Amino acid sequence: MANNREDRLTETLKSVEEAVVTGYKAVEDSVVGGYKAIEKGVVSGYKAVETATVDQYKSIEATAVRIGKLAERRVKKRWA
């Protein structure tokens, strides 16, 4: 009987150990998945800001060029 009881305890201990390992792995996977999702979000956000900044710069540059050309034409008209 004692041997049977020890076998059951050993099996129970193995089951608990497996459950703990499985739970740990699930938590670990969840944490890693969350980290990767956050990392992707940060990278996407950075790229969006970078793109917007470049677009704004190009727009400002194009406006400055148009203003420069307009000013140049007005100066030429006055001196002509």
For residue 66, the model assigns a pLDDT of 94
For residue 2, the model assigns a pLDDT of 60
> What span, in angstroms and rounded, lies between the C-alpha atoms of 16 and 1?
23
For residue 61, the model assigns a pLDDT of 94
What DSSP character marks residue 8? Answer: H
Token pair of 10 as six digits: 């050993």
Tens digits of per-residue pLDDT, 26-80? 999 999 999 999 999 999 999 999 999 999 999 999 999 999 999 999 888 888 7
User: 14 phi and psi, to 5 degrees?
Assistant: -65, -40
pTM of the model: 0.52
